[in-house]
């Protein structure tokens, strides 16, 4: 058989939303936030396990995390959770059939599932932004202290 040239987009296909709809970017961001939260979570379990050593062990472990870089990191995880969770609610709703419509007889210009759930996507992004803002005021206090 003659030579074929591989033309898969690979991981670039995950990262480049290109001219596709915004849901494609949400997909990529959902993956990145999920990975970030998982990594943080594994560390979190191990770190908070130190409370088994009693209050002294807990205090000394918490003292080592007082630097602002850790507070910022925690806030990033909070933003990640806000997006991942609220977008996740949208994904659960849509993947179980909400707001994507029923099969029918398509007529151009097509109204397809991605377009139909767009209002839900916008609502989800607004809710996530509000939560992030509320969390942001909280961070402001952590920095002010």
Partner 1 sequence: MRESKLWFWHITAAIAVVVLLGMHMGIMHVGEILSFVGIGAGDAVKSANVFHRSQQAFFMATYILLLGAALFHGFYGLRSMLFELSLSSGLEKAVSGICAVAGIGLFLYGSYAAIYVFRMKEVLP
Partner 2 sequence: MSKSSAQAPDIVMTARFEVLRYNPEKDKAPQLREYSVPVTKGMTVLDGLHWIKEHIDHTLSWRSSCRMGICGSCGMFINGLPRLACNNQIVHLHSDHVVVKPLPNFDIIRDLVPDLESMISKHRSVKPYLIRKDLEEQNHPTNEYFQSEQELINYIQFAYCIKCGLCMAACPTVATSDKYPGPQPLTQGWRYMSDSRDDGAEERTEVLYSPHGVYRCHFAGACSQVCPKGVDPALAIQMAKKDAFLKTFGSRRQRQATSVAPPVENWVPKAEIPKAPEPTVEKK
Residue ranges binding partner 1 (CB under 8 A): 31, 34-35, 37-38, 41-42, 45-46, 48-49, 51-52, 54-55, 58-59, 62, 78, 81, 85, 88-89, 92, 96, 134-135, 137-138, 141-142
Closest CA to 81 of 135, 17, 22: 135
Q: How far is the CB of 131 from partner 1 (least distance, A)?
A: 9
Residue 42 Cβ vs partner 2, minimum distance, rounded to whole Å: 23
Q: DSSP states of 23-66 as a string?
A: HHHHHHHHHHHHHHHHHHHHHHHHHHGGGGG-HHHHHHHHHTT-
Nearer to partner 2, 68 or 103 (CB): 103
Q: State in angstroms the smallest separation of the CB of 49 from partner 2.
A: 32
For residue 95, the 8-state DSSP code is H
Instruction: List CB contacts of 33: < 8 A, sequence separation 6 or more.
Output: 80, 81, 83, 84
Judged by beta carbon distances under 5 to 8 A according to partner kind, the member of partner 2, partner 1, none in contact with residue 54 is: partner 1
Query: Contact residues for partner 2 (CB under 8 A)?
Result: 2-14, 18-21, 23-24, 26-28, 30, 91, 94-97, 100-101, 103-108, 110, 112-114
Listed in sequence order, the residues at least 6 apart from 119 whose beta carbon sits closer than 8 Å to its beta carbon are 99
Least distance (Å) between residue 71 CB and partner 1: 11
Tally of CA atoms within 13 A in the half-sphere of 117 that contains its CB: 23
């Amino acid at each position: 058989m003659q030579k074929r040239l591989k033309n898969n987009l690979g991981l670039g296909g995950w990262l480049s939303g290109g001219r596709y709809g915004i849901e494609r970017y949400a997909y990529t961001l959902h993956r990145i936030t999920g990975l970030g939260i998982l990594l943080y979570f594994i560390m979190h379990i191990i770190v908070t396990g130190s409370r088994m050593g009693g209050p002294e062990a807990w205090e000394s472990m918490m003292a080592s995390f007082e630097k602002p870089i850790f507070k910022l990191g925690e806030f990033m995880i909070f933003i990640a959770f806000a997006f991942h969770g609220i977008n996740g609610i949208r994904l659960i709703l849509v993947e179980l059939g909400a707001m994507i419509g029923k099969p029918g007889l398509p007529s151009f210009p097509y109204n397809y599932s991605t377009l139909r759930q767009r209002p839900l996507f916008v609502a989800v992004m607004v809710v996530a932004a509000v939560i992030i803002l509320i969390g942001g005021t909280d961070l402001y206090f952590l920095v002010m202290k």
